[in-house]
Amino acid sequence: MGQIESFSTLPLQQCIPSYLYWEYSDDQDLQAFVTSFNSITQGYTDWFNNTPLGLYTSPNVTGPLLDWIGNGVYGIPRPVLSNQTSFVTAGYNSIPYNTMAPYDGSSFTSSGASSLASDDIYKRMMTWNLYRGDGQMFTMGWLKNRVNRFINGANGSDYEVLNDPPSISVSGNTFTITSFDDSVFTALQELVNARLVSVPFQYNFSFVNISFYNDGGVLWMTAPLNYPTSSVGLSAGAVWYNGGTVAVTPGGSGAGSPVYFGSITAAGLLSLGGGGLPTSNPHNLNQLWNNSGLICISAG
């Protein structure tokens, strides 16, 4: 009678070792060969136990193996991320007269760049399309969960959805998604615009990137999003949005690792805090510093 498969039963953890017949047991060369053979076969066993081929989020599933699983098992090829825009100009009286040759001709122009998605973005995209816990009915909650999971779930991992990022609003049939500007959010925009992640075709999507900018040596942010807008109740060294500038509550060591404008994201600074920023100008180009509670950018 066959054994019933059960997920509570672990697969075989140790391979059945090879061994020498007794009459050859005193041969050191043969013993070394058998030991090496057993080590290699145990390595294969360990790899298969640690790399379930259906679990694409595994850290062992990368590169060509990820492509094979994504395309072969799930039917989702690795996406090409593109910010390319194209323009077609054609037809009589569609452009100013005598600006195109030949008369009543047509032209096609495009600009931008494209690249294959990294393993991390590929896995996040697969989780968006394969996740079933949100149900199949499109709602604001469904969209917010998926966007939040994509932004925060490294390598396609699940993420406990919170009420913070992203901010999503709707007007008519257009959903506007607002989040901190970084490479992951940019990738999401390109995937949504190309309809490579599952979204209803009836709706349009626009994006607002919350980012830093340098205003005469002072760090400004385009909108608060999830930043506190008051210092009340914040811990020492926490950052908050002060009407456009980014402020730091009193306290902190001032001796943290250097943080640079252009490298740190708004989300990253919110998580890091400002307690480690130097409290005097470090005279190091683009390094952030705490100027009596106001985050400034060193000019070098």
pLDDT tens by residue, 4-42: 555 567 778 888 898 888 888 888 999 999 999 999 999
- At 236 the three-state DSSP class reads coil
Cα–Cα distance measured from residue 224 to residue 212, given in angstroms and rounded to the nearest whole number: 11
Q: Is residue 273 domain-shared with residue 226, that is, in the same domain?
A: yes
Q: Is residue 56 part of a domain?
A: no
- Residue ending a domain, among 181, 210, 239, is 210
Domain count within the chain: 4
Predicted confidence (pLDDT) at residue 232 exceeds the cutoff of 70: yes
Q: Is residue 3 part of a domain?
A: no
pLDDT of residue 115: 85
Q: Is residue 74 part of a domain?
A: no
Name the residue range of residue 85's domain.
80-116
* Mean pLDDT within 155-178: 86
Better-predicted residue by pLDDT, 244 or 60? 244
Q: Is residue 26 domain-shared with residue 89, that is, in the same domain?
A: no
Predicted confidence (pLDDT) at residue 79 exceeds the cutoff of 90: yes
Nearest to 186 by CA among 130, 121, 127, 138: 121
Q: Is residue 93 part of a domain?
A: yes
Q: Is residue 194 domain-shared with residue 149, that is, in the same domain?
A: yes
Q: Is residue 67 part of a domain?
A: no
- Residue ending a domain, among 188, 210, 232, is 210
Q: Is residue 109 domain-shared with residue 125, that is, in the same domain?
A: no
pLDDT of residue 1: 45
| Burial class of residue 226 (count of CB atoms within 10 Å of its CB; 0-12, 13-18, 19+) | middle
Q: Is residue 21 part of a domain?
A: yes
Q: Is residue 271 domain-shared with residue 218, that is, in the same domain?
A: yes
- Residue ending a domain, among 116, 141, 168, is 116
Q: Is residue 205 domain-shared with residue 217, that is, in the same domain?
A: no
Q: Is residue 154 part of a domain?
A: yes
Q: Is residue 103 domain-shared with residue 160, that is, in the same domain?
A: no
pLDDT tens string 180-225: 888 999 999 999 999 999 999 999 999 999 999 999 999 999 999 8
Q: Is residue 129 domain-shared with residue 160, that is, in the same domain?
A: yes
Contacts 24+ apart (CB under 8 A), 111-115: 111/84, 111/85, 112/82, 112/83, 112/84, 112/85, 113/82, 113/83, 113/84, 114/80, 114/81, 114/82, 114/83, 114/84, 115/80, 115/81, 115/82
Q: Is residue 65 part of a domain?
A: no
Q: Is residue 93 domain-shared with residue 160, that is, in the same domain?
A: no
Q: Is residue 100 domain-shared with residue 143, that is, in the same domain?
A: no
